[in-house]
Amino acid sequence: MPPIIWIDGTFYDRGSAKVSVFDHGLLYGDGVFEGIRVYNRRIFRLAQHLDRLYASAKGAWIEIPLPKPAMRRMVEEAVAKSGLEDAYIRLVVTRGVGDLGLDPRKCAKPTTVCIVDTIQLWPQDRYDKGLTALTAATPINHRESLSPRIKSLNYLSHILAKVEGIAAGVDEVIMLDAQGYVAEASGMNLFAVTNGTLKTPPAYAGILRGVTRDAVIELAREATYAVEELPVNRYDLYTADEMFLTGTAAEIVAVVKLDGRVIGSGAPGPVTKELSKRFRALATRGD
Catalytically active residues, by annotation: 151
Helix (H) or strand (E) holding 117: strand 111-117
* CA angle, 110 then 114 then 117, to 5°: 155
Torsions phi, psi for 274 (to 5 deg):
-65, -45
| DSSP strand pairing (226-229 vs 197-200) | parallel
On the CB side of 95, CA atoms within 13 Å amount to: 27
CA distance 247 to 36: 10
Number of Cβ within 10 Å of residue 117's Cβ equals 16
* 273 touches 223 (CB < 8 A): no
Give the residue from 177, 185, 158, 165 showing the smallest Cα distance to 250: 185
Number of Cβ within 10 Å of residue 171's Cβ equals 20
Residue 20: helix, strand or coil by DSSP?
coil
**Which residues does residue 172 pair with via DSSP β-bridges, in sequence order?**
133
